[in-house]
Structure 1
């Protein structure tokens, strides 16, 4: 069987890539992210970028794409059926609705030019999410071309692999690292400078805030998503360097800034309403949305809610009727907006949840709060209710949560409720010790976590969890890994001493996770307490900043495999490589233009270059002692000719975008024994010249490189060393009746080339590949129906058959000799 050679050590976070490039590599993405992490901002950026004429180079995959932005909060507001493509524009209230040619959206999607951005699965009521999944599946199946799909959600809203069967890759927006936070703060203050006369004051605020975030753990934890970081910057400036403590106080200060101080800053008259009557009415709107599982409402509904409340809020009634009060909020509060005419929502879900919690506490709806503990849409509401409540009210909420968890019907629901109660402890400034102990006892039953998913959920509890996690000596290797995942996601430097206890752990996955977590903490301190104590054997040392690379140099560490990512500059790489000899190097989304820094690297045996869009010059590779190379070409301008000079190269993977050309003449003929072609790579002249690779034993062909003629098959037949082959099943349609590849012992056939193409190929195998010992049938088999294996019984040397389809779809297995092992998944 043909096996990959670049398998990486599985880790809890195996893929760090810039969010704006996620769709460049995977056409279908389900993106999870916490509130305020930038999901909707990313959707808007993708849409605007795709609509530009001058698409940036790193976003070339968006060129000539038509964006369809589908906010589910809007589409599901009335509980109506989700729209078909012809109704997309009308459903979101676009002014372009009805002005496009008939059927244009169908033509766009059929041609594979669509960018479908579905925002906010979590904003669909839980009861309607299965209907939403069916809608998505139908769309993706109908327009299964080169369209790009992005679906966003808060993490707990849908189960793991919710859309995996439909080809969606799951990614998570990472919290901002300390370096990310520093960059955000610097850029926020830079953006605030134009139009002000106080550059010196802004410089001072910037320095003060950076110091505060670095030295105050609670503030640093709050600043790890763009929403909160921007809010902290604004409040810090608005309050002349003073920041309130804790999430509740920050939200209250932000509301005050938006409701009253905002007008004063804009030299407007003092607002007609005090903050309290404004909050009274706004929280009623927020609470209605929460109780109805919505994030938008009709303007008429909002005015009805206000109208009912006005008799109890005479200060607001003095402004006029409900319509006048609503207009006041819309124009003056900074909290409400009208995304499309006739619809209202809050500027961010976070403010809706905070105001809704305020209403729930005032109405003493503690049973209602606890009753929704298993509903992901209520998590932040319950947490804020704990923060806003008085001690006795908090105690009531916690007792109700524990009672609900104790009688939960399933272990998963019970764990969810217990973890929510534990996470709420950080919001409880005062609480009876007996209640706190009861929550901690329940949480302890979930330790150690049994999966990375459970580990990340534990981390949401905060630093409290560190005192409950067991020491490494008491754990199996797998349990130790999950404990380290949990601790490494705790957003506090308090995690460092705990993580340091695992630095000498022998299990490779534990040490790999410790390397991955470096960017989440202070760079130098983490290096001194953890990185310097790690055994680097077999680890990918993932470096995401120049500072981390400098720390490696300072500590004199020489990892076997260095993995350089987006945040590392070419200058830093050049400085490091000038003083250090490398054995294995990975460049993943690195900002490099050429590979000149590799000159003189006489020990370099393995190089992986993945998604480096600025890299076009490979000339520095010539003469390097590489034995293994994986190269993702950024475009057709990348010249592959230097590869021919790699006299020791044995294993090569080439990936590229559509139109990137390769030729056997570009490859080292004497040494290469394994070649894999992926993505859009296409041969310059069919497979002509491939037989000149005399040592090539294993060959994997992508769709564009599959044999397309009798001449191509003849070229494969002349390869003297070929034993392992992987190609599309549909390519056997061009196999001449007399062609025989007698030496191929292992064959992988990929489905997806048309209905029954794989089954037709199976019938050809005994004559064309008489020496097969190992046969794998895989890929997209949705159009294949049942797979009949009976023809394979004619292969005398067959020992193993693998089929990626359930056994209920396999036929003819009884016809195979008893010496053949059948694997099906």
Structure 2
């Protein structure tokens, strides 16, 4: 029987829930997952002193009939008789010996049949149409009743997972159809919805049009510590990451993220910590809410951005549509019209932005994926962007739901320069006393990054680039080298030196030096690590501080937990308070660094090893190795190699051991040799996807790879895929041994890796030696364009960065160019190509808009 008379859960649940006793009044036996309970004991209208009388049940039945008849032109005269029959049918629940488990196992249709059969002839006075309406409405009421039972009794879902899943799916389908049945002419929003959507759009802009540029902490606590997204947003780059493909040619260009997203309804975006995933989500939300999207994203115009940070609901599970705003604690959650989110999804007007799958514990990602897949199948016409760290989820994690995979590309030199310039421009708005020297700091940093490999390797994402800018300013141009050293210097800057050096001595009554500040922050970070949390509510944070204060003598007499917390919040720049009074660190990487230091301090090595195969613990373990003393370091690394895990978990732990070697300060030779010995054979990747995955291990891989002269062209290509992702001078030396091979696939990979290394050095060692036959040479920035011209130009050139026609006219060699590949939309007519007399072919990436003004005689390929 099809429940063709439908009620959206937003209106049905408040009524149906009154049919059951409150959870606290239900039998204690329900807490036992092995028992069942008679539904007669759970309903609110039976027993000695029922909470709901028969008259109350009749009133609820009348309300259900009235709501359901809205979309069914049911004559008013028939509604009261239907309500009487419905109340008699529901009343019988209290007399049957059906248990809750049996009812869920039956499902809504069969359970409705059982109720009807228990009151034979109850509908004899109804007309045929009214009887039909009653039967279908009864199925819908039973559906909502069973769903309510499952939601309040997790044991039911545990005992009958398939039935529970099916009932949840039916609820979603029912909601979609119920909303469609109530849509107005043309499916346009109601006046109430339209009014709320205008206020919601304003709130999205207000909430997300701010961005913190890391490391600019202001001495005045009343001064804002963030800047307009409009003024500081850097257009990020992305590339398609089709892990299933065995071949990797340069036909998948690096594009700006907005162009890369163009034409895709569903995207899984990967990016390392600090790469700008959340900033991109903010930009999409604000631009959509403002109706200020670029032409490439025209398909998003008019959509409603729904931002869903996973950390907000990681433990509770993916929320139902009508709980979206409540789950993320949106300030307008209580003002949304009933069923608004479900209507937006049903009308296919939503832009879903699910940010940070890696913020959920690994055990919760499977259920999150299942819920997201179910949502996208039911509300199939909505756009969806999901973000995650690269190793947080497996390749093709959502491929069966039509999600394409993108990866945020490292910032190129032009983007790094743009970020550094924007950072120093924003710094002019703070209350520092060195504004007259900001241009000097900027220019010195711009000159230093190309010269120093360590800085070049670190300044490839907004987080680390911002941290480098802050430290450069703080140290008047003297920068530390290496990841751990950068964070140590940041802690010194933020926790010890900044306030005294800026004479901010009396911002509050608390006087704490770096050590106690850091120790308290480490306690908070470690608790969040062990509980696998991305945030703590205020009571939990204060509880942790209260527990820690007696062990830190310097905090004595400084105030209670509230005063200490406010001091840490306002004076360190490392914490952020949300509107709902929860707290989080300004970035997950900062939390990981501090938690790792505390883990080493507490000797929690068994805890680290127990979670070493989980992606969200990788950075913690790397930093723990960096903090650990030699014996502790050996214990951690040998623990990573210990037997007990199998398959992917074992491989991940072993590769993590290899990756940790670059962070080791001192390690006994025996352990070092053992790691190299046990991971050597893992570093002969059999697929391109595996080859890409080795890049995160770092420079230590180079010591274990096979002699390039002994491998086939196919394996040489896979090795090149790995090595071009290791930003180290030694990588160039290894790649130079592959440069003379004829394989076009290999040569294309070597050319594609240019952007990951020092331009001139790579051009001299690799680019200048590649056989140009059939090979397009990619150019991503002005430095590469100049280097290619210095080599005399090439016949085939691929443009994968933003240039103006004048820059290309100056940079390309006119007499050389015969084939030009545009993988980046220049946004102008192509008349200027007439300056290249030998140009025969213009290749345009199909993801880009159609080109115009191409000179006659030039063939266009796409």
* Fold equivalence (TM over 0.5): yes
Tell me which moved more, 114-123 or 292-301: 292-301
Does the CA-based 8 Å contact 1:565-1:590 persist in structure 2?
A: no
Q: More deviation in 494-503 or 573-582?
A: 573-582
Distance 2:316 2:811 in 1: 59
Conserved? CA contact 1:178–1:522, under 8 Å = no
The CA deviation at 1:472 is: 2.4
Question: Which residue among 251, 275, 283 is the counterpart of 2:514?
Answer: 275
* Distance in 2 of aligned mates of 1:217 and 1:527: 16
Which of 423, 427, 436 is equivalent to 1:192?
A: 427
Map of 1:415 onto structure 2:
651
Aligned residues of 1:37 and 1:226 also touching (Cα < 8 A): yes
SS at match of 2:600: helix
Query: Counterparts of 2:389 and 2:566 in 1: how far apart (Å)?
Result: 31
Q: Deviations over 1:609-647 (max 9, x none)?
A: 34797x7872344x2242x533xxxxxxxxxxxxxxxxx
Could you tell me how far 1:140 is from its partner in structure 2?
1.0
CA distance in structure 2 between the aligned counterparts of 1:471 and 1:141, rounded to whole angstroms: 49
User: Is the CA contact 2:630–2:667 (under 8 Å) kept in the aligned structure 1?
Assistant: yes
Residue 728 of structure 2, aligned match among 492, 500, 503: 492
Q: Is contact 1:532-1:557 (8 Å) kept?
A: no
Tell me: CA distance 1:577–1:381, structure 2 relative to 1, closer, same or farther (3 Å). closer
Deviation at 1:47, TM superposition (A): 1.0
Q: Does 1:327 align with 2:562?
A: no
1:336 and 2:570 matched: no
Aligned ranges for residues 194-593 of structure 1 at < 5 Å?
A: 194=429, 198=434, 201-264=437-500, 267-269=503-505, 272-403=511-642, 406-410=643-647, 412-559=648-795, 561-576=796-811, 579-580=814-815, 582-593=817-828
Distance 1:180 1:495, change over 3 A: farther
1:509 to partner: Cα distance: 1.3
Change (3 A) 1:359 1:10: closer
| Cα pair 2:318 2:372 within 8 Å, conserved | no
Matches within 5 A, 1:86-235: 86-145=322-381, 147-194=382-429, 198=434, 201-235=437-471
Residue 340 of structure 1, CA deviation: 3.2
Could you tell me how far apart the structure 2 residues matched to 1:67 and 1:261 are? Answer: 41
Task: State the shift of 1:603 in Å.
Answer: 5.0
Deviation, structure 1 residue 567? 2.6
Distance 2:649 2:840 in 1: 49
Q: 42-51 or 592-601: which moved more?
A: 592-601
Q: Gaps (5+ residues) in structure 1? A: 1-6, 631-825
**Where do 1:669-748 residues align within 5 Å?**
none
Q: Which moved more, 1:501-510 or 1:549-558?
A: 549-558
1:34 aligns with 2:34: no
Aligned CA distance change for structure 1 residues 188 and 152 (closer, same or farther; 3 Å): same
Aligned pair in 2 of structure 1 residues 113, 586: CA closer, same or farther (>3 Å)? Answer: farther
Determine if the alignment matches structure 1 residue 24 to structure 2 residue 262: yes
Alpha-carbon deviations, 1:666-713, whole Å to 9, x = none?
A: xxxxxxxxxxxxxxxxxxxxxxxxxxxxxxxxxxxxxxxxxxxxxxxx
Deviation for aligned residue 1:98: 2.3
Q: Rate the CA distance shift 1:259–1:334 in 2: closer, same or farther, 3 A.
A: same
Contact persistence 1:30–1:151 (CA under 8 A): yes
Q: Distance in 2 between matches of 1:604 and 1:58?
A: 28
* Residues 541, 244 of structure 1: alpha-carbon distance in 2 compared, 3 angstrom cutoff: closer
Q: How far apart in 1 are the matches of 2:783 and 2:524?
A: 47
Cα shift at 1:376: 0.7
Q: Distance in 2 between matches of 1:12 and 1:439?
A: 34
Task: Name whichever of 203-212 and 342-351 sits farther off.
Answer: 203-212
Give the match for residue 608 of structure 1. Answer: 843
- 1:595 lines up with 2:830 in the alignment: yes
Cα distance between partner residues in 1 of 2:776 and 2:265? 27
Q: Which moved more, 1:374-383 or 1:299-308?
A: 299-308
Residue 81 of structure 1: how far off its partner (Å): 3.5
Deviates more, 1:279-288 or 1:250-259: 250-259
TM-score scaled by length of structure 1: 0.71
Question: CA separation of 1:13/1:422 partners in 2, compared to 1, >3 Å: closer, same or farther?
Answer: farther
Q: 1:619 aligns with which of 847, 850, 853?
A: 853
Residues of 2 paired with 1:234 and 1:13: CA distance?
38
- Secondary structure in structure 1 of the residue aligned to 2:777: strand
Measure the CA separation in 2 of the matches of 1:339 and 1:276. 26
**What is the SS of the residue equivalent to 2:786?**
helix
C-alpha distance in structure 2 between counterparts of 1:61 and 1:547, whole Å: 35
Residue aligned with 2:774, SS: coil
1:353 Cα deviation after fit: 0.7
Question: What CA RMSD, in Å, does the superposition of the two structures yield over aligned residues?
Answer: 2.5
Cα deviation, 1:505-530, whole Å, max 9, x if unaligned, reads 12221111011111111222211211
Deviation at 1:58, TM superposition (A): 5.0
Task: Tell me how far apart the structure 2 counterparts of residues 220 and 91 of structure 1 sit (CA, whole Å).
Answer: 40
| Alpha carbons 2:777, 2:794 under 8 Å: kept | no
Distance 1:205 1:218 in 2: 18
Gaps of 5+ in 2: 1-244
Q: Which has the larger radius of gyration?
A: 2
Offset from partner CA, 1:360-405 (integer Å, 9 cap, x none)? 11111112212221011111111111111112211221121222xx
**Which one has the bigger helix percentage?**
2
